[in-house]
Chains A and B, each alone.
Chain A
Amino acid sequence: MPSPVPETDPSAAAAEGPSSSNPNPNPSPSASVDAMDAWHWDERSCCAAAADDDDVTQPQFAAEAARVPYVGDKEPLSALAAEYQSGSPILQEKIKLLGEQYAALRRTRGDGNCFYRSFMFSYLEHILETQDKAEVDRILVNIEQCKKTLQSLGYADFTFEDFFAIFIEQLESILQGNETSISEEELLQRSCDQMISDYVVMFFRFVTSGEIRRRAEFFEPFIAGLTHSTVDQFCKASVEPMGEESDHIHITALSDALGVPIRVVYLDRSSCDAANPTVNYHDFIPSSNPRGAISEQQDSIESSARQQTKPFITLLYRPGHYDILYPK
């Protein structure tokens, strides 16, 4: 892997060391994604020799951009099987199982924003197909709450208002009957448009950060377990910057804040009982009253309500990356 920092700079070389090891033990042919993430990490290897970094990494950015759009076309699930045909037998077996329930997948670019982009497209596509006006009205109320949350946390309006406006604009444009209503093709095109796509990603990052900070007491132990950092440090370092990857903390926060359930299907080496393999999934179901404190009693009522809510967004997780799955 080419190092973006000149060898002659000792401080930069030292800083680059740990980040150049690939943290993904999965030797499967999803290597394209892994390699991308690896140089992405590499690119951030600090500090010294900043000007030189750009020259080396920018052609790579361009190459990656040409290869995978922000949001790709729908592909049959067999495309996934083809990707792993010389890979681990356990994963092949799991893909077979996936094929029983899911018909297609849609890839997103592995640039650290894939969870948000997958969520964006999947949610907007759902609204476009169902024309569920009630759902749009519902999420708009939540978005308004998110705005108030950020204001009460001390964020200046101008730092987030443009990002909110762009997402609301997309929502409105997919409802038919509006003068500006758009087609599925146009939705895909917009999701691949750098300006629109990045603005919506940043909108989600604001919403996620606001929710984590608002319920800092709830999220604090999870964050401490994952990164040994404070809630504030975590939001600043792992939520708000573009390109920072998401895990269950981010997904929980975004799902709760917007009130949108999300199913994540895990294609990894968990539950590797070779005789009887299963594909794990987890449903992130927003609590019905995420704004207030939840008593234990309420919680048990909710858990019965939870079982009835089936997520309409399904994401496929492979270590370090999210794509969109389509049920049969």
Chain B
Amino acid sequence: MLDVSRVQKELAECNRDQAISGVGIALCDGGSDLSHLTGTISGPVATPYEGGTFRIDIRLPGGYPFEPPKMQFITKVWHPNISSQNGAICLDILKDQWSPALTLKTALLSVQALLSSPEPDDPQDAVVAQQYLRDHQTFIATARYWTETFAKRISVDIEEKVQKLVEMGFPEDLVRSTLKSVNGDENMALEKLCSS
């Protein structure tokens, strides 16, 4: 049995400082199933992922928080520890190093840290890892290209972002103009909306 009250507390805690932490969690497709969530991570600055918003599919097994959340990138990403095929993530805390002392937020922050510090010696995607080690320039260029292509597709899900921000209580026209002013970056928009 999923610990529903804990998941609710986690969502509230995580989204309270989303603008600062750069990670957020929402119910998948605006549904009501607390065991199926979508996380977002802003690409860390000074990496090829900078400026991108990466979406992560999160499924909570019945044994959560004793069992780790199952996380997988929805947004395609070029990284040695993330499958370029299916988004599977190689990260110890999502497997044997998981602990109930961790949270969805700390897990997402760890994934974000993984974007900053790849570990090519413990790869998920062998092809990417080889390129990272042998032809670093091409790796950087490919990762950046993938970020531009897949993690910045603004128009496709702009309505979704509008809806989400409106649900947070901001007026729709202000949401639209703010999103436009930051090129559709949801987190930057939220930051602006909060500080205005």
Contact = CB atoms under 8 A, between A and B. Distances in A.
Given A158-B6, A159-B101, A162-B3, A241 B96 contact: yes
B123 A11 contact: yes
B100 A159 contact: yes
A314 to B, nearest CB: 29
B122 interface: yes
Contact of B88 (A43, A50, A163, A198): A50
B97 A241 contact: yes
A160 interface: yes
Nearest to B101: A240
* Chain A binding surface, main DSSP class: helix
Given A11-B123, A237-B97, A240-B100, 14 more contacts: A43-B96, A44-B95, A46-B92, A46-B122, A158-B9, A160-B101, A205-B101, A206-B101, A209-B101, A236-B97, A241-B98, A241-B99, A242-B99, A242-B100
B90 interface: yes
B148 interface: no
Nearest to B96: A44
Interface in B87-124: 88, 90, 92, 95-103, 122-124
A62 to B, nearest CB: 14
Contact of A159 (B90, B103, B126): B103
A158 B90 contact: no
B57 interface: no
B13 interface: yes
9 contacts: A11-B126, A15-B122, A47-B92, A48-B124, A50-B95, A158-B10, A158-B13, A240-B100, A242-B100
A202 B123 CA distance: 31
Interface of A: 10-11, 15, 43-44, 46-48, 50, 155-156, 158-160, 162-163, 198, 202, 205-206, 209, 236-237, 240-243
Interface residues of B, number: 22
A76 B123 CA distance: 50
A156 B124 contact: no
A47 B99 contact: no
A209 B101 CA distance: 10
Most B C-beta atoms less than 10 A away, residue of A209, A237, A240, A241: A241
Interface of B: 3, 6, 9-10, 13, 66, 88, 90, 92, 95-103, 122-124, 126
Nearest to B86: A51
A237 B100 CA distance: 12
B95 A163 contact: no
Contact of A240 (B66, B90, B99, B123): B99
Nearest to B83: A48
A185 to B, nearest CB: 25
A237 B99 CA distance: 9
A156 B90 contact: no
A242 to B, nearest CB: 6
A156 B100 contact: no
Contacts of B97: 236-237, 241
Nearest to A157: B9
A48 B90 CA distance: 7
Contacts of B95: 44, 46-47, 50
Contacts of B13: 156, 158
A198 B66 CA distance: 8
Contacts of B88: 50
A159 B104 CA distance: 11
Nearest to A210: B101
Nearest to A53: B95
Contacts of A160: 101
